[in-house]
Each structure stands twice: as structure tokens, then as C-alpha cells.
């Protein structure tokens, strides 16, 4: 049985990679960003159609068994203004219109956790769910964290699944037994700018004039911009789409190679917590920002995946992606349910 799918808001293809690994055949895909579409073509093929989704006739899209995608989340994100009236917030309803036009057996929509968690978005959630149910779909959503699904990154996401097969057909993936740390992934890279480690970020690292302090040295803001250091002994924090400059995360290369090395960051944090002025402290060269290749690995992309466009384009494509291992875990449950229902 071939499961035919339409991919919406596909970006560079992180979610597509996961669904394809689960055996899904993508027959049509769409994204607005030209460089992301070129990346998609380089890795998958010409199924991607570049342009605003609203410029296409939804009824003319290929017939499919499944629709999946992650509508832009800036209007719902805690990193933004969390404005339900943001034009981008309306794109969850464009996704819904495609589902209404094509009537797939299943759909999967990804978005930020805030859409499923915060009271201020309750009206949006209710409108979405009520409309899907009027269309005949059973719908459930859960908030999943990618660190529990073979991804070395803490990244909470709302996953909404709907089906015409009834609520009993909706299953979410079980958590993986092993949590992958940032060190496990990054230790396999060559030196920045050599071999398998491309896309060096040259944004300087300086200590903040007015640091924002938290109990952990890996939280708050000790450095310029919002590029926080990564705790290599854990999955990294959520990667932002705005990487490439001062918001690019930072690692200690001494600790990466040797976990028993002196922890410079903890000493700096301790000084700041004591009230000492750290604004003039020189940041050593072994503290650096992660590369494009390292960011892609922390998002769960395989090393052979190609990113096209400028360096900032590549960082943005990675930060906007659904982690492929999370997408694959979800897709396998959906595929299993579709095969079981023989639809």
C-alpha cells in the first residue's frame, strides 16, 4: 500500500524527511521561501512548489491519503509577540482548508507548544477543533518534546492529529529509552571550517554589559545577544530560527573534547552571581558559536543532508525545521494506523 501525502509549509524538508523515512510518498509540497525550496529540491526532488500557499487552487492539488505540515508559528511563539491577530497565525486555517478540500484519511499539524497550552489561544484552538469535527474528523493533540524522540535538543511542539477512522486510530509515539546529549552528536565533527564541519559563524562573543542571571549558567544572558551556551551533558536548548549572528548558541570546545576540563563558564557565572562586574572579561577562543553543520545535527538532520543558500539562510532553514527524528516517530504511528484500517 502506497500512502500518498501532501506536505504544507515544508521548509527545507525536516518533517518530510521523517515522513519519507516512515514510507510515505510525498506527491506535492509547498513553501514560500525560495532558498528553502532549493534545499528541498536538492535533497528530495521537484515535488516542492515555491510560492504562497494561498495562490494555489486547493481543489486542484493531487489526491492524497495524508496531509502534514507545520504552519508558521511566529504569531503563537513565546519568542515573538504571541499575537493571535498576527497574519501568520491565520495560516493554521489555510492548512485546515487544504484538509477540507482534499479530505485525507489522516492529517498531522505541527506548531509551537504555546498554541496548545496558553489560555490566550483557547479561542484559536476551539475554532480549529470545532471545524475539524464538523468536517467529520476525530482530533487529538499532545505536546511532545523532541529530546524524547532521538533528537539531541529540548524542543516542545504541539502535534495535532486528525483522522476519519475514529479517535481510537490516533496514537502518539512512545518516548525513546535513551536521551541523546549534545556532546554525543558534536564530538563526531571535525574542527570548524574543515572536513564535515561547514558554515562557521564569525559573530563575536563578548560578555554582557548588563547580564541577566539565572541559577544555571546555561540560562539567563551572560553574553551579547541571545546566544546562550549549550550544556554538553544534556540535549541542547531549542535552536532559534534567528541563528547566524549573536543569537547563535555557544559551546566550550575544551569541554567538548574533554569533559574533565576546567569549566570556564561556571567560573564566570559564579563571579556574576557574587555581584562582580563581568562586562570587561575577555572570552577565550575555546568558547565559540556552533556551525551550520553542528546546528543541523542538533536538529536531528543526517550529515549528508544538503542546505543551500547563504549562511544565514541555512541557519534559518535549520531553526525553522521540525526535527526529522520526531517527525519520523509520529509518522510511523500514523502509517501503522492507516495500514491497520486499510484506508
Residue pair 158/141 in contact by the 8 Å Cβ criterion? yes
Any catalytic annotation for residue 312? no
Burial status of residue 164 (CB atoms within 10 A of its CB: 0-12, 13-18, 19 or more): middle
* DSSP state letters, 95-134: HHHHHHHH--SEEEEEEEHHHHH-GGGHHHHHHHHHHHHH
Q: Which of 73, 165, 201, 236 is catalytic?
A: 73
In Å, what is the CA distance from 46 to each residue of 26, 37, 41, 43, 223?
10, 9, 6, 10, 42
Report strand pairing: 106-112 vs 156-163.
antiparallel
Handedness of CA 226, 227, 233, 239 (dihedral sign): positive
Distance, in Å, from the CA atom of 107 to the CA atom of 15, rounded to the nearest integer, reads 13
Question: Which amino acids are annotated catalytic?
Answer: 73
Amino acid at each position: 500500500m502506497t500512502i500518498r501525502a501532501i506536505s504544507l509549509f515544508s521548509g527545507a524538508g525536516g518533517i518530510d524527511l521523517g515522513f519519507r523515512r516512515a514510507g510515505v510518498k510525498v506527491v506535492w509540497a509547498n513553501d514560500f521561501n525560495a532558498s528553502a525550496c532549493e534545499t528541498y529540491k536538492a535533497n528530495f526532488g521537484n515535488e516542492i512548489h515555491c510560492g504562497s500557499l494561498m495562490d494555489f487552487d486547493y481543489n486542484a492539488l493531487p489526491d492524497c491519503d495524508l496531509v502534514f505540515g507545520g504552519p508558521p508559528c511566529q504569531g503563537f511563539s513565546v519568542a515573538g509577540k504571541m499575537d493571535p491577530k498576527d497574519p501568520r497565525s491565520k495560516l493554521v486555517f489555510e492548512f485546515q482548508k487544504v484538509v477540507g478540500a482534499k479530505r485525507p484519511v489522516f492529517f498531522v499539524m505541527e506548531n509551537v507548544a504555546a498554541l496548545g497550552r496558553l489560555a490566550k489561544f483557547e479561542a484559536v484552538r476551539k475554532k480549529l477543533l470545532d471545524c475539524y469535527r464538523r468536517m467529520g474528523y476525530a482530533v487529538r493533540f499532545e505536546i511532545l518534546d523532541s529530546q524524547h524522540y532521538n533528537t539531541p535538543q529540548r524542543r516542545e511542539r504541539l502535534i495535532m492529529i486528525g483522522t476519519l477512522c475514529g479517535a481510537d486510530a490516533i496514537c502518539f509515539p512512545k518516548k525513546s529509552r535513551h536521551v541523546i546529549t549534545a556532546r554525543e552528536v558534536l564530538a563526531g565533527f571535525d574542527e570548524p571550517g574543515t572536513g564535515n564541519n561547514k558554515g562557521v559563524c564569525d559573530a563575536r562573543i563578548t560578555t554582557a554589559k548588563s547580564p541577566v542571571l539565572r541559577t544555571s549558567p546555561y540560562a539567563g544572558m551572560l553574553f551579547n545577544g541571545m546566544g546562550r551556551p549549550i550544556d554538553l551533558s544534556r540535549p541542547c536548548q531549542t535552536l532559534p530560527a534567528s541563528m547566524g549572528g549573536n543569537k547563535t548558541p555557544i559551546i566550550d570546545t575544551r569541554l567538548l573534547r574533554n569533559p574533565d576540563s576546567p569549566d570556564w563558564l561556571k567560573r564566570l557565572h559564579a563571579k556574576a552571581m557574587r555581584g562582580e562586574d563581568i562586562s570587561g572579561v575577555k572570552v577565550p577562543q575555546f568558547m565559540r558559536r556552533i556551525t551550520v553543520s553542528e546546528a543541523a545535527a542538533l536538529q536531528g538532520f543526517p550529515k549528508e543532508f544538503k542546505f543551500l543558500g547563504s549562511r544565514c539562510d541555512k541557519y534559518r532553514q535549520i531553526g525553522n525545521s521540525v526535527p526529522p527524528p520526531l517527525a519520523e516517530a509520529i509518522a510511523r504511528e500514523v502509517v501503522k494506523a492507516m495500514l491497520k484500517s486499510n484506508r
